[in-house]
Chains A and B, each alone.
Chain A
Amino acid sequence: DVKVTQSSRYLVKRTGEKVFLECVQDMDHENMFWYRQDPGLGLRLIYFSYDVKMKEKGDIPEGYSVSREKKERFSLILESASTNQTSMYLCATTGIQSNQPQHFGDGTRLSIL
Chain B
Amino acid sequence: GQNIDQPTEMTATEGAIVQINCTYQTSGFNGLFWYQQHAGEAPTFLSYNVLDGLEEKGRFSSFLSRSKGYSYLLLKELQMKDSASYLCAVLGRGSTLGRLYFGRGTQLTVWP
Q: Are A99 and B42 in contact (CB under 8 A)?
A: no
B42 A107 Cβ-Cβ under 8 A: yes
Pick from B41, B48, B99, B103: contact of A99, CB under 8 Å: B48
Apart from A42-B102, A98-B31, A101-B45: 19 A-B pairs, beta carbons within 8 A: A30-B98, A33-B99, A42-B104, A43-B43, A50-B97, A58-B99, A94-B98, A96-B98, A98-B30, A98-B97, A98-B98, A99-B31, A99-B48, A101-B48, A102-B98, A102-B100, A103-B45, A104-B42, A104-B43
Contact B97 A101 (CB under 8 A): no
Chain B residues, Cβ within 8 Å of A94: 98
* Given the contacts A105-B42, A107-B42, A56 and B96 also touching, CB distance less than 8 Å: yes
Max chain A C-beta neighbours (<10 A), residue from B30, B31, B33, B42: B42
List of 6 A-B pairs having minimum Cβ-Cβ separation, nearest first: A42-B104, A101-B45, A104-B42, A31-B98, A43-B102, A98-B30
Q: Give bound CA distance, A48 to B101, whole Å.
A: 13
Is the interface on chain B under 10, 10 to 19, 20 to 34, or 35 or more residues? 20 to 34
B98 adjacent to A42 (CB under 8 Å)? no
Q: Is B91 an interface residue (CB 8 A)?
A: yes
- Which B residue's beta carbon lies closest to that of A38? B104
When C-beta atoms are compared, the residue in chain B nearest to A44 turns out to be B102
Chain B residues 8-60 with CB under 8 Å of chain A are: 30-31, 33, 35, 41-45, 48, 50
Do the beta carbons of A42 and B42 come within 8 Å of each other?
no
Question: Which residues of chain B come closer than 8 Å to A22, judged between CB atoms?
Answer: none
Known contacts A101-B48, A104-B43; A42 and B103 CB within 8 A of each other: yes
Whose C-beta in chain B lies nearest to the C-beta of A4? B42
Q: Which residue of B lies closest to A32 (CB)?
A: B98
The answer to whether B31 and A43 touch across the interface, beta carbons within 8 angstroms, is no
A102: nearest chain-B partner, CB-CB: B100
Q: Are B41 and A106 in contact (CB under 8 A)?
A: yes
Instruction: Check B64 for interface membership: any CB of A closer than 8 A.
Output: no
Q: Which residue on chain A has the smallest CB distance to residue B6?
A: A42
Q: Mark A29-62, 1 if CB is under 8 A from B, else 0.
A: 0110100000011111100101000001010000
Quick one: closest A residue to B103, CB to CB? A42
